């Protein structure tokens, strides 16, 4: 007589268990990543508290607000402050200075790319590291420090005047920060000096992700260094370039408030009064909170519009976009 094989108890239990649902899998994954999730939640909480909740205050741009009344008590004035800014006698030269400085800075956008391309071609590793360190070191100095250095160098008895007079390029010292005609040049040059090396880091990181096989194939085809840069490196990092250019276009009305604040003075006001400083001056010094909020909102709307346009153009031209 044959004996029937009995099913092990564990097998019976396993067969009765249903597979875990998607919710159970999600909860299990959430528990296993609890430390990372807590850090992410802290970041989200910080963003909500300091970035989104303060957005409620933007309504003062449409109200006649002062510090005596609360925001809800202030009377509505609609678009009155926006109309006042557009008809302000300062509007013309404030926009001229802002757009002039920002557009010239935008024209210097290719410089970090060029610097990264040439730095990538340096084969002596020690020399390459030294150049990279020297180039991005100024980024870690605040504009308060660099502004003091520049003010000293550009003064009547500064090193710039000493060098130019020693070379017989000028006959007498020039107070550069007191002359409006030199201000834009000083701002653009100092910004390049401070940020060139740091801005190149992201391009260097993108270049390191390029497969060496592409360069080997180009070498076999007889391509030189400049041809490799043009036909291999640049096409490979065009996505990174496009994204950063979109962000640069959206910030065209940002004139680097810290830099302007430390370099400007009453003598170069006609060339240094930009939107960021004008908002600070009218809002803090004159106490016109609603007016300055309206100007800030006006700038934000323009920035968003430029971002959407640049994003759409980039998507059409090279299939790369932020969203």
pLDDT digit string, tens, across residues 141-169: 999 999 999 999 999 888 999 999 999 89
Per-residue pLDDT at 1: 43
State yes or no: pLDDT of 290 exceeds 50.
yes
267 Cα distance to chain centroid: 29
Cα–Cα dist 101/315, whole Å: 27
User: Would you kindly state where each structural domain of the chain is located, as residue ranges?
Assistant: 18-62, 81-318
The predicted pLDDT at position 177 comes to 92
The 10s digit of each residue's pLDDT in 10-55 is 544 454 556 778 888 888 888 888 899 999 999 999 999 998 998 8
> What average pLDDT does the segment 73-93 reach?
91
Other beta carbons less than 10 A from residue 269's beta carbon:
14
pLDDT (average), residues 254-270: 90
Which pLDDT does position 50 carry in this prediction? Answer: 92
pLDDT at residue 251 is higher than 90: no
Integer-rounded Cα radius of gyration of the chain = 29
- The residue-averaged pLDDT of 249-255 equals 86
User: pTM, whole model, 2 decimals?
Assistant: 0.82
Residue 133 has pLDDT above 70, yes or no: yes
- Partners of residue 76 on adjacent β-strands: 63
Residue 180: both structure tokens together: 């409006």
Q: How far apart are CA 258 and CA 288, in angstroms?
A: 21
Write b or e for each residue in 176-199: b if 16 or more Cβ atoms lie within 10 A of its Cβ, otherwise e. bbeeeebbbebbbebbeebbbbeb
What is the per-residue burial (b if ≥16 Cβ within 10 Å, else e) of 241-258? bbbbbbebbbbbbbbbee
Q: Which two tokens stand for residue 311?
A: 């994003």
Q: Which residue has the higher pLDDT, 317 or 95?
A: 95
- Nearest-angstrom CA–CA distance, 119 and 204: 8
Structure confidence at residue 13 (pLDDT) = 47
| Mean pLDDT along residues 217-245 | 90
Asked if the model's pLDDT at residue 7 lies above 70, the reply is: no
CATH 3.10.20.30 fits 81-318, yes or no: no
Distance of CA 161 to the CA centre of its chain: 33
Indicate whether 278 pLDDT > 70: yes
């Amino acid at each position: 007589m044959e004996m029937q094989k009995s099913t092990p108890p564990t097998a019976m239990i396993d067969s009765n268990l249903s597979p875990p649902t998607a919710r159970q899998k999600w909860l299990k994954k959430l528990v296993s990543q609890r430390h990372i999730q807590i850090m992410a939640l802290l970041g989200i909480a910080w963003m909500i508290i300091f970035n989104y909740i303060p957005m409620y205050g933007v309504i003062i741009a449409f109200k006649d607000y002062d510090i005596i009344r609360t925001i809800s008590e202030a009377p509505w004035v609609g678009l009155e402050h926006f109309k006042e800014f557009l008809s302000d006698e300062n509007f013309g030269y404030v926009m001229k200075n802002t757009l002039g400085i920002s557009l010239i800075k935008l024209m210097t956008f290719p410089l970090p790319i060029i610097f990264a391309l040439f730095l990538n071609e340096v084969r002596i590793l020690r020399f390459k590291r030294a150049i990279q360190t020297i180039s991005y070191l100024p980024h870690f100095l605040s504009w308060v420090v660099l502004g003091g250095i520049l003010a000293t160098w550009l003064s009547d008895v500064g090193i710039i005047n000493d060098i130019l007079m020693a070379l017989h390029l000028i006959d007498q010292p020039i107070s550069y920060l007191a002359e409006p005609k030199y201000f834009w040049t000083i701002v653009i040059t100092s910004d390049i000096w401070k940020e060139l090396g740091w801005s190149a880091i992201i391009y260097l990181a993108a270049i390191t992700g390029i497969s060496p096989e592409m360069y080997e194939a180009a070498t076999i085809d007889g391509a030189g260094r400049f041809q490799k840069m043009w036909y291999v490196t640049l096409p490979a990092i065009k996505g990174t370039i496009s994204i950063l250019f979109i962000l640069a276009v959206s910030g065209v009305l940002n004139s680097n408030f810290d830099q302007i604040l430390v370099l400007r003075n009453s003598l170069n006001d006609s060339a240094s009064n930009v939107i960021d400083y004008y908002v600070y001056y009218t809002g803090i010094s004159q106490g016109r909170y609603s007016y300055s909020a309206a100007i800030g909102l006006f700038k934000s709307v323009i920035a968003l519009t430029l971002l959407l346009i640049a994003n759409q153009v980039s998507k059409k031209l090279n299939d790369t976009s932020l969203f």
